[in-house]
Amino acid sequence: MTQHASLSPERWSAFTLPDQILMIANEMNRALSLFGPGDGDRLRRAYERTLRLVDLTIEVQKKPLLRRELLRWRDLVAELYVSGSPGLHQHRLALRALLFFHPVAARQ
């Protein structure tokens, strides 16, 4: 299981939405260095951590429209995860899209 497996929804909800988005983005950013040969397992684990954090965000999110959009974004990352060899360009586009979920995150 991922390193975020023990992170509770209560603990996650203590963070602001921009902080949650930036922490998810941080996992995606770490994964940018994992597109070389032999990095497939590490990249998959990075996506697992990303999916875990976005799942927590969806779980604690009260705004239905934001939840819907986060679920759509999650599907995008899940597709990268199951593809086995996602493209770096698609990864960067997904990261950029995530940052636009909140103005504070978008400034990063």
pLDDT in tens, the chain (108 residues): 456 667 899 999 999 999 999 999 999 999 999 999 999 999 999 999 999 999 999 999 999 999 999 999 999 999 999 997 889 999 999 999 999 998 887 887
Residue 5 inside a domain? The answer is: no
Residue 9 inside a domain? The answer is: no
Residue 46 inside a domain? The answer is: yes
Residue 6 inside a domain? The answer is: no
Neighbours of 94 (CB within 10 A): 19
Residue 100 inside a domain? The answer is: yes
Distance of alpha carbon 46 from alpha carbon 51, whole angstroms: 9
Answer whether 0.85 is exceeded by the pTM.
yes
**CATH number of residue 31's parent domain:** 1.20.120
**What's the structural domain count of the chain?**
1
Residue 8 inside a domain? The answer is: no
Structure-token match 């705004």, residue found: 63
H or E element, residue 29: helix 17-31
Residue 62 lies in domain:
14-106
Query: What is the predicted pLDDT for the residue at 105?
Result: 78
